[in-house]
């Protein structure tokens, strides 16, 4: 492989929002990716779909919420280097839902779904996936679109990062 070619995983991260709370996923300890960590709903972008289509599908599969494209707000883009054997590109979305009642319930295949306020979230800070430490403000109080890049070490900890923001006025 040359310097311009990197194996890459395309994924989406979805933060479902109702009132002042965000829905997080506390992943089972036995999961391959981010075991026993607080993360979010999300997954791979399949070959036949775009990032928004993947966000709609993953939201339905993991929570049961039936959302439309207009429910989703593009929050930002993450580029993750040296995480597992691949680089990752993650499209991040925030989606508004009408109720705290999760259609599939709070116990799901990947772990436990939890509604957390920003104050509740701060109590979990040592248990979150590393990038949430950098992006939580952008999730709870979005100020535009973010562009986040991080390099991980072998312990899955961020060792270098940068973030930029852009206000979007349409």
pLDDT tens digits, 118-136: 999 999 878 999 999 999 9
Q: pTM for this one?
A: 0.92
Q: Please give the Cα distance from 139 to 22 (Å, whole number).
A: 8
Question: What CA–CA distance (Å, rounded) separates 93 from 59?
Answer: 11
Q: Where are the alpha helices (DSSP H) in 64-128?
A: 118-122
- The model's pLDDT over 6-57, given as tens digits with 9 standing for 90+, comes to 778 999 999 999 999 999 999 988 887 788 899 999 999 999 999 999 999 9
What residues does each domain of the chain span? 8-166
* Cα–Cα distance for residue pair 98/19, rounded to 1 Å: 9
Q: What's the CATH class of domain 8-166?
A: alpha beta
């Amino acid at each position: 492989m040359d310097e311009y070619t990197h194996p890459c995983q395309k994924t989406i991260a979805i933060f479902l929002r109702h009132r002042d709370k965000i829905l997080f996923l506390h992943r089972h300890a036995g999961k391959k990716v981010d075991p026993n960590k607080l993360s979010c709903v999300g997954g791979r972008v399949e070959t036949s779909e775009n990032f928004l289509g993947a966000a709609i599908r993953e939201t339905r599969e993991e929570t049961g919420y039936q959302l439309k494209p207009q429910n989703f707000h593009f929050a930002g883009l993450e580029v993750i280097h040296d995480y597992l054997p691949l680089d990752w590109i993650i499209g991040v979305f925030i989606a508004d839902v009408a109720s705290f009642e999760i259609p599939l319930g709070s116990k799901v295949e990947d772990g436990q779904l939890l509604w957390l306020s920003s104050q509740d979230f701060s109590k979990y800070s040592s248990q979150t996936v590393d990038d949430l430490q950098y992006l939580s403000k952008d999730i709870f109080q979005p100020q535009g679109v973010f562009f986040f890049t991080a390099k991980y070490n072998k312990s899955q900890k961020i060792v270098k990062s940068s973030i930029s923001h852009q206000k979007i006025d349409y």
